[in-house]
Each structure stands twice: as C-alpha cells, then as structure tokens.
C-alpha cells in the first residue's frame, strides 16, 4: 500500500510541477548540436519533447496492478527515451538532407547570379534571381534583399545568409559577393572572376561527389548476387558435412 502511495505521489509531482521539471532537465538533456539543427526554436522544441516523454510516466498508474513487473518499468523508460530522441533523430536526418541539397543547388544559383550581376547591381541581381532560386534558399534570400535595401554597406546581411547550415563555401561566396558590390569598377572584374572560379570548382566537386555516391550504391547492389551465391555455397557445404558425419555415425 505504501509503495502505491509513493508511486502516485511521484506521478502527481510530475503532473503539477512539469514546467519546473522541464526547465531543470532542459540544459541537462540538450544535445551538443541542438542550436545548429533547430536554430532559433531549439528551446521550445526541447520543452515539447520533454513534456511528451514525461507524459509516458502516467502509465505507471497500472504498474501495481501488474505486480510491479520490472519488464513493464523498462518498457516505460524505453518508450519515454524513444519519444524524446525520435524528433531529434528525424530533424537531424532532415538537416543532413537539406545540407546535401544545398551543396548541390547553391552553386547553380550562384552561377545564375553571376550572369545577372554583369548587367545589374548586386541588389538588382538578387531580386531578379528570386524567380529561379531553389525553394530551400528563398526565405533567406528574401531576408537578404530586405536587409540590403535598408543597409547596403553592412556585411552582416551577407554573413547571415544561410548561416544556419554552417557551410564555409556559402560564407566565402557571400563575402566575394559583398566585395563585388563594395569595390570600385576597377576591381569589380577581378572579384567576378574569383566568384566564377570558386563556383566552377564547387560545382565540379559536388558532381563528382554525387557520382561517387551513386557508384558506391550500385557497387553494393552488384555485390548482392555474389553474396547470395556465397551464402548458398556455404549452406550446401554445411549440408554435405552434416551428411558425411551422419553417415560416419551410422556406419
């Protein structure tokens, strides 16, 4: 009876003081790469995860009726851990996919921008590029256009562009773009050539990486028949050995 009262008291504390518990657990359970994955919404996202994982403990009310089976307790803790980590795993996977997509799409968009700035200012070229910009960068592009409209001198809008992905190539390209719009016409051609060379190398590197990834994928598929034949051969040899030993015992 005392055990049931302690258990129900524990559940009542979790239910009533869940906000305090969430704030206490937040710095302890936050992953090291949380800020880079969730960006600005990291804390609110963590609070939702903690709250959902804590609600699982309500199922402990039926633990006494299961005669305090430890397997049920392990199941509850495992489910709570899974509900807490699953959104993080899912978001991390999506972030990796977005980074790979950005590494392929950004240099193509940058090449289009280079063509536009030959006959336009950088600000005009950015506005014109919104029509063909990949969906992944359109929000950041809109913020960049708005920021450069208000302050055309500051480099900060360029450094903030897609900075949540932490790609050195993007930062380097945006610095070159800023220098292009800041320097005089005498040095403008040199800056444009640097951008073209950087983008060309980037596009070649991304195409090579995609080709190598596909080649590795098809190589693994090509090994499956060989693996199947090997397994069948081992199974046949094992059966032959069993038959030989069986005949030896019978003899």
User: pLDDT by residue (tens digit) across 19-28?
Assistant: 565 555 555 5
Q: Which single residue is written with the structure tokens 């903690």? A: 50
Residue 2's pLDDT is: 47
Give per-residue pLDDT as tens, 87-107: 888 888 888 888 888 888 888
Residue 228's pLDDT is: 74
Give phi and psi for 135, each to the nearest 5: -60, -25
Residue 144's pLDDT is: 92
Residue 250's pLDDT is: 47
Regions in the chain scoring below 50 on pLDDT: 2, 17, 249-251
How many CB atoms are located within 10 Å of the residue 161 CB?
A: 21
Question: Where do the domains of the chain lie?
Answer: 2-68, 98-209
Residue 70's pLDDT is: 79
Residue 127's pLDDT is: 92
């Amino acid at each position: 009876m005392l055990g049931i009262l302690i258990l129900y008291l524990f559940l009542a504390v979790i239910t009533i003081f869940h906000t305090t518990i969430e704030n206490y657990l937040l710095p302890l359970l936050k992953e090291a790469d949380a800020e880079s994955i969730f960006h600005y919404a990291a804390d609110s996202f963590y609070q939702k995860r903690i709250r959902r994982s804590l609600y699982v403990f309500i199922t402990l009310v039926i633990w006494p009726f299961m005669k305090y089976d430890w397997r049920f307790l392990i199941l509850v803790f495992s489910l709570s851990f899974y509900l807490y980590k699953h959104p993080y795993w899912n978001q991390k996977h999506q972030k990796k996919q977005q980074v790979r997509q950005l590494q392929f799409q950004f240099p193509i968009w940058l090449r289009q921008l280079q063509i536009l700035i030959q006959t336009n200012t950088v600000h005009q070229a950015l506005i014109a590029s919104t029509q063909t910009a990949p969906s992944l960068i359109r929000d950041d592009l809109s913020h960049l256009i708005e920021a450069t409209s208000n302050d055309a001198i500051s480099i900060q809008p360029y450094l903030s562009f897609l900075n949540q992905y932490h790609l050195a190539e993007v930062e380097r390209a945006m610095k070159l773009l800023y220098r292009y719009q800041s320097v005089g016409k005498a040095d403008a051609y040199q800056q444009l050539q640097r951008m073209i060379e950087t983008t060309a190398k980037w596009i070649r590197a991304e195409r090579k990486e995609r080709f190598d990834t596909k080649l590795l994928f098809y190589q693994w598929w090509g090994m499956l028949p060989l693996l199947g034949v090997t397994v069948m051969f081992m199974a046949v040899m094992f059966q032959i050995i069993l038959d030989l030993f069986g005949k030896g015992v019978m003899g």
